[in-house]
A and B are shown apart, each in its own frame.
Chain A
Amino acid sequence: MTELECWGCEDEKKRPNISLTKEEIAIARKRLGREPNDIEWAMLDVMWSEHCSYKSSRKWLKLFPIDGKNVLLPVGDDCGIVKFDDKWGIAIGMESHNHPSAIEPVAGAATGIGGIVRDIISKGAKPIACLDPLRLGDIRSDERSRYLFENIVKGIADYGNCIGVPTIGGETEFDKSFDRNPLVNVVCIGLVDKDRIIKGAAPVAGDTMILAGSKTGRDGIHGVTFASEELAAGAEETSRPAVQIEDPFSEKLLIDSFGEIFETDAVRGCKDLGGGGFTCATSEIAHKGGKGAMIEMDKIHLRELDMEPWEIVLSETQERMMLVIKKGREAEVEKILDKWGVPHARIGIITDEARYIIKHKGKVIVDMPTEMLGDSPVFERKWEPMPKKAVIKPQINDLKKHLNELLADVNIASKSWVYQQYDNEVQARSVTKPGQDGSITRITDKEGVVLGIGCNSHQCAIDPYEGAKGALVEAVRNTVVMGGEPLAVVDCLNFGNPEKPKAFWQFKSAVEGLAEACKHFEIPIVSGNVSFYNESDGKPIDPSPVVVVMGKVKLDRTLSMGFKEEGDEIILLGETKPELGACPKVSLEQERKNCWLMEKLAETQSVSAAHDLSKGGLAVGLALMAFRGQTGFEVSISKMSEQIDDSEKLFSESHGRFVVVTKYAKGVLDMAEKYGVKAQVIGKTGGDKLEYGPFSVSVKDAKKLWENGLEEMIV
């Protein structure tokens, strides 16, 4: 908190708190040419917060490749849009709601979905699917992590189910580094007519600004500044007012009414009110159009009539949208909002002069150049490499016991307890059911979208650069292994305090790794989110660059992981390296060959099942293929040519590997040779055992461990 001499508001208690630095305060005074008043300070505080301005990260994010022939709306708007076919574009965005979920898990997780879904709606798209990558504390030992886990899942279920957008996939990782600071990331995709994309910009003066949705209340005030600081001890009590309250029914009405509104061509621009609330949405939409805005605050529909102006501009009440409507077309839009019972108000107009002006009771209370809100100062953060962690290869004496422990481990065990609480089939598009490597949703009768996730925070903590590359290649593998062709990437970069050089080095290294990997695969990053300050009691989380790859898939060429029939040959693609306990190294060149091969195998329908190897290595990968399928397997790891010990063959988490199942082994081996990919037949499907060679387990017993592993920790 900064002390200010000229703090205009008389009643001390009614003043907004601000968290700008001395340096930023000086810049603000200079740029405005006078002392900003309370409300202006409050607005600058929000717009220049890390959350809204990306002031620490912006410089580094420029490393990302963002262009591509299929990119219809690049990084910079509320979400990205990628061309799917000649008619459709797919809008895709990713958000985090980490701090709110740490304080109030149900509301925090729910409003996270609400926000990203509105980002998708605001671009003229119909939201059709969500993914929820979660990272939680060690629920085995930590009571509060258990509470957070159960309630974050409940928040996602209550909200997502009600708004009719299926949660078709996700991932759940548990580690003690997330004990007090869980990561709640959410992806939403939407379907939009590629010729009718709405931008978050208002380029025409005279257009009318309509605020639609819930009445503005006192919830979520200072939400973004709270998200731009470390979680303080006791934050559960003190920061609760900064958490927004969810109302999924109102969101559903926005989805349906906006779907109808976009069928008219009355809309010039649209933005959702998310982080930074009214201030952010109205100033950005004007700034992006190169215009100004004249706003009459008295027109805003309020939940509590005695709200102070600064509370109104800062409120993060959910389920609100900012529409800029072509002059003269307002009534058409208002009629649709009325039909659905969505409250609305004409709150201002877009002006030629690029100034952002708010009038309140006839007086001008805010008057700033629009760009002052839109362009925040950028900071150069210092970095300092973390000392390299020594890699200790774990000594595994009893291979069978180790496999059983892994299968029951919460990080590998079935997540059905989570996804059965989510409606994953509404909208009748879900070609896959949760639990596969990737998630496929139908777009047309012939083609669909596949989404694959990647991130291993444990590996990123060992080496953020390799770990981030690993996140991307894993997400690509999860896409191609379903039969998909990668089109675009979205990311959510979850890190610690950027003002601390070591945490910032982790961020910078991960960005460099991710950028390099995306460039190598020639997949653009179309949208993303940076979440800093994921620390509590001064301890940062394990760095977590969560990556989602979106691909396109032909619906008659999709693959799944389950073994279908007995007697098929099992082939291991890629090389297994002695990387137990390490952050596996990524060879981008080799990885791309392996993924090309996988795409080819899907296209030619040469394999009946395919699975990407990640957590738990080959041993766990094969087990999952049996659990998701109809039969066991007989494999002999002695057939592997790698000169490494059995524990490494079974459990090493080397990148670039798939297991495929086929009736045409020779054809697959030939194709692999052509692509320059190591391929080895290691056994056959069949039987009621997981037979590895050195040991075997009954499918039934092993499956039970895997099915119950997570649930036993909760109940």
Chain B
Amino acid sequence: MIGVLQFPGSNCDYDVLRALKDVVKTDARMVFFKNQDLSDLDGLVVPGGFSYGDHLRAGAIAAKMEVMDKVKSLAAQGKPVLGICNGFQILCESGLLPGALGRNTGVKFVCKWVELEVENTTSAFTSLYTKGEKIRMPIAHGEGRYLCDEKTLKELKKDGQIAFTYVGENPNGSLENIAGVCNREGNVLGLMPHPERASEKLLGGEDGRRVFEAMVNYIKSRK
């Protein structure tokens, strides 16, 4: 069972749920952020949106909610945790992933399809890609510029934690074109592009589906 964590202001929650249940055909349920028991979950997705209206800073308030302690404990048990867009911001704000996401260098919100290069194929979410593979997914964010200090960047590179990079145009000014990073263990991934919007041909492409399929495979392999 995969949970989709719903904060006030989450808006890609049902899209992720649909991708999991209807496209990848796995068991999934919505998890409202208040008073929740997460013990039945094998994995969790923190979806995109504007949790708490992006007040203060994108993801900053959601990251301080009690439920995030439970998310941290899921991650510590080795269960896969995926943060997409605002979910990525929340995972960074809560310390589950290194670095931070700043305002796009172009200032404006950007919604378009971009090309990505797969840098890591060993994480719980990228095992179905080949290294160096070019894939397409859409982005939709105003604060997606990945930033971290030099020491962290060195570690990310050393440990292969950079999962996806933008190819060609860097749409938001991210450091080293970084579009997604994972933790050292590879069971927590955050990315700005939306794999759930790239899971069906009808909606423009299906390169993103393998993120969820890999997640499901990873869960099976742990059992």
| Shortest Cβ distance from A247 into B: residue | B53
Known A-B contacts A426-B15, A430-B203; the reply to A421 vs B111 at CB < 8 A is: yes
B-contact bits for A157-187, CB 8 A (1 contact / 0 none): 1100111100000000000000000000000
B-contact bits for A223-252, CB 8 A (1 contact / 0 none): 000000000000000000000000111001
Q: When the two chains form their complex, are residues B111 and A249 in contact, meaning their CB atoms are under 8 A apart? A: no
Known A-B contacts A161-B50, A339-B34, A426-B15; the reply to A555 vs B110 at CB < 8 A is: no
Q: Does B158 sit within 8 A of A, measured CB to CB?
A: no
Q: When the two chains form their complex, are residues A162 and B9 in contact, meaning their CB atoms are under 8 A apart? A: yes
Q: Does A433 sit within 8 A of B, measured CB to CB?
A: yes
CA distance A378 to B14 in the complex (A): 47
CA distance A174 to B50 in the complex (A): 32
In the complex, identify which listed stretch (B123-131, B149-157, B177-185, B194-202) lies at the interface while the others stay far away: B194-202
| Shortest Cβ distance from B18 into A: residue | A428
Q: When the two chains form their complex, are residues B53 and A248 in contact, meaning their CB atoms are under 8 A apart? A: yes
CB neighbours (8 Å) of A247 from chain B are: 53
Q: When the two chains form their complex, are residues B50 and A248 in contact, meaning their CB atoms are under 8 A apart? A: yes
Known A-B contacts A248-B53, A249-B52, A249-B55; the reply to A425 vs B203 at CB < 8 A is: yes
CA distance A291 to B18 in the complex (A): 43
CA distance A424 to B9 in the complex (A): 17
CA distance A157 to B107 in the complex (A): 13
Give the residue of A249, A256, A428 whose beta carbon is less than 8 angstroms from that of B15: A428
CB neighbours (8 Å) of B112 from chain A are: 416, 420
Q: Does B140 sit within 8 A of A, measured CB to CB?
A: yes
| Shortest Cβ distance from A163 into B: residue | B11
CA distance A221 to B54 in the complex (A): 28
Q: Does B132 sit within 8 A of A, measured CB to CB?
A: no
| B17 vs chain A, min Cβ distance (A) | 10
| B179 vs chain A, min Cβ distance (A) | 17
Q: When the two chains form their complex, are residues B54 and A162 in contact, meaning their CB atoms are under 8 A apart? A: yes
Q: Does B95 sit within 8 A of A, measured CB to CB?
A: no
Q: Does B96 sit within 8 A of A, measured CB to CB?
A: no
Q: When the two chains form their complex, are residues A428 and B110 in contact, meaning their CB atoms are under 8 A apart? A: no
Q: When the two chains form their complex, are residues B11 and A428 in contact, meaning their CB atoms are under 8 A apart? A: no
Q: When the two chains form their complex, are residues B11 and A426 in contact, meaning their CB atoms are under 8 A apart? A: yes
Q: When the two chains form their complex, are residues A420 and B111 in contact, meaning their CB atoms are under 8 A apart? A: yes
CB neighbours (8 Å) of B52 from chain A are: 249
| Shortest Cβ distance from B54 into A: residue | A162
A-contact bits for B30-42, CB 8 A (1 contact / 0 none): 0010100000000
**B120-177 interface with A by 8 A CB criterion:** 138, 140, 142
B-contact bits for A326-370, CB 8 A (1 contact / 0 none): 000000000000011100000000000000000000000000000
Q: Does B108 sit within 8 A of A, measured CB to CB?
A: yes
Q: When the two chains form their complex, are residues A425 and B53 in contact, meaning their CB atoms are under 8 A apart? A: no
Q: Does B43 sit within 8 A of A, measured CB to CB?
A: no
Q: When the two chains form their complex, are residues B109 and A423 in contact, meaning their CB atoms are under 8 A apart? A: yes
CB neighbours (8 Å) of B53 from chain A are: 162, 247-249, 252
CB neighbours (8 Å) of B34 from chain A are: 339
CB neighbours (8 Å) of A430 from chain B are: 203
CB neighbours (8 Å) of B191 from chain A are: none
Q: When the two chains form their complex, are residues B203 and A428 in contact, meaning their CB atoms are under 8 A apart? A: yes
CA distance A161 to B194 in the complex (A): 15
CB neighbours (8 Å) of A425 from chain B are: 111, 138, 140, 194, 197, 203
Total number of A residues with any Cβ neighbor in B under 8 Å: 33
Q: Does A431 sit within 8 A of B, measured CB to CB?
A: yes
Q: When the two chains form their complex, are residues B111 and A422 in contact, meaning their CB atoms are under 8 A apart? A: yes
Q: Does B12 sit within 8 A of A, measured CB to CB?
A: yes
Total number of B residues with any Cβ neighbor in A under 8 Å: 33
Q: Does A587 sit within 8 A of B, measured CB to CB?
A: no
Q: When the two chains form their complex, are residues B109 and A421 in contact, meaning their CB atoms are under 8 A apart? A: yes
Give the residue of A162, A163, A421, A555 whose beta carbon is less than 8 angstroms from that of B202: A555
Q: When the two chains form their complex, are residues B15 and A427 in contact, meaning their CB atoms are under 8 A apart? A: yes
Q: Does A253 sit within 8 A of B, measured CB to CB?
A: yes
Q: When the two chains form their complex, are residues B202 and A431 in contact, meaning their CB atoms are under 8 A apart? A: yes
| A704 vs chain B, min Cβ distance (A) | 16
| A555 vs chain B, min Cβ distance (A) | 6
Known A-B contacts A164-B11, A339-B34, A442-B202; the reply to A252 vs B194 at CB < 8 A is: no
CB neighbours (8 Å) of B19 from chain A are: 428
Give the residue of B11, B12, B14, B110 whose beta carbon is less than 8 angstroms from that of A252: B11
CA distance A341 to B54 in the complex (A): 16
| B219 vs chain A, min Cβ distance (A) | 23
| A559 vs chain B, min Cβ distance (A) | 14
| A346 vs chain B, min Cβ distance (A) | 23
| B9 vs chain A, min Cβ distance (A) | 5
| A571 vs chain B, min Cβ distance (A) | 27
Q: When the two chains form their complex, are residues A420 and B110 in contact, meaning their CB atoms are under 8 A apart? A: yes
CA distance A72 to B9 in the complex (A): 31
CA distance A700 to B200 in the complex (A): 31
| Shortest Cβ distance from B142 into A: residue | A161
| Shortest Cβ distance from A425 into B: residue | B197
| A192 vs chain B, min Cβ distance (A) | 16
Known A-B contacts A164-B49, A426-B15; the reply to A431 vs B110 at CB < 8 A is: no
Give the residue of A154, A161, A420, A431 whose beta carbon is less than 8 angstroms from that of B203: A431
CB neighbours (8 Å) of B48 from chain A are: 426
Q: When the two chains form their complex, are residues B14 and A424 in contact, meaning their CB atoms are under 8 A apart? A: no
Q: When the two chains form their complex, are residues B8 and A253 in contact, meaning their CB atoms are under 8 A apart? A: yes
Q: Which interface residue of A249, A253, A423, A430 has the most chain B CB atoms within 10 A? A: A423
CB neighbours (8 Å) of A420 from chain B are: 108, 110-112
CB neighbours (8 Å) of A427 from chain B are: 11, 14-15
CA distance A157 to B49 in the complex (A): 13
CA distance A549 to B111 in the complex (A): 26
CA distance A430 to B197 in the complex (A): 9
Q: When the two chains form their complex, are residues B204 and A433 in contact, meaning their CB atoms are under 8 A apart? A: yes
Q: When the two chains form their complex, are residues B109 and A157 in contact, meaning their CB atoms are under 8 A apart? A: yes
CB neighbours (8 Å) of B55 from chain A are: 249
Known A-B contacts A164-B11, A249-B50, A428-B19; the reply to A423 vs B202 at CB < 8 A is: no
CA distance A420 to B140 in the complex (A): 9
A-contact bits for B47-61, CB 8 A (1 contact / 0 none): 011101111000000
B-contact bits for A123-156, CB 8 A (1 contact / 0 none): 0000000000000000000000000000000100
| A337 vs chain B, min Cβ distance (A) | 12
Q: When the two chains form their complex, are residues A428 and B8 in contact, meaning their CB atoms are under 8 A apart? A: no
CA distance A340 to B194 in the complex (A): 26
Q: When the two chains form their complex, are residues A428 and B50 in contact, meaning their CB atoms are under 8 A apart? A: no
CB neighbours (8 Å) of B113 from chain A are: 433
Known A-B contacts A420-B111, A423-B109; the reply to A161 vs B8 at CB < 8 A is: no
Q: When the two chains form their complex, are residues A424 and B111 in contact, meaning their CB atoms are under 8 A apart? A: yes
Q: Which interface residue of B12, B19, B32 has the most chain A CB atoms within 10 A? A: B12
CA distance A431 to B110 in the complex (A): 19
B-contact bits for A449-488, CB 8 A (1 contact / 0 none): 0000000000000000000000000000000000000000
| Shortest Cβ distance from B22 into A: residue | A445
CB neighbours (8 Å) of B110 from chain A are: 420-421
CB neighbours (8 Å) of B54 from chain A are: 162
| Shortest Cβ distance from B17 into A: residue | A428
Give the residue of B8, B109, B111, B204 whose beta carbon is less than 8 angstroms from that of A341: B8
| Shortest Cβ distance from B15 into A: residue | A428
CA distance A154 to B107 in the complex (A): 11
CA distance A558 to B92 in the complex (A): 41
Q: When the two chains form their complex, are residues B197 and A161 in contact, meaning their CB atoms are under 8 A apart? A: no
Q: When the two chains form their complex, are residues B197 and A252 in contact, meaning their CB atoms are under 8 A apart? A: no
| Shortest Cβ distance from B140 into A: residue | A423
CA distance A426 to B15 in the complex (A): 8
**B1-22 interface with A by 8 A CB criterion:** 8-9, 11-12, 14-15, 18-19
Known A-B contacts A339-B34, A426-B15, A428-B203; the reply to A249 vs B140 at CB < 8 A is: no
- Apart from A340-B8, A428-B14, A442-B202, 17 more pairs, CB < 8 Å: A154-B108, A157-B108, A157-B109, A158-B109, A161-B142, A163-B11, A249-B50, A420-B110, A420-B111, A421-B110, A424-B111, A425-B140, A427-B14, A428-B15, A429-B203, A430-B203, A433-B204
* 10 pairs of A and B residues whose beta carbons are closest in the complex: A164-B11, A249-B53, A428-B15, A162-B50, A423-B140, A421-B109, A425-B197, A423-B111, A157-B109, A420-B112
A-B contacts, 5 of them at CB < 8 A, read A162-B11, A249-B52, A425-B138, A425-B140, A427-B14
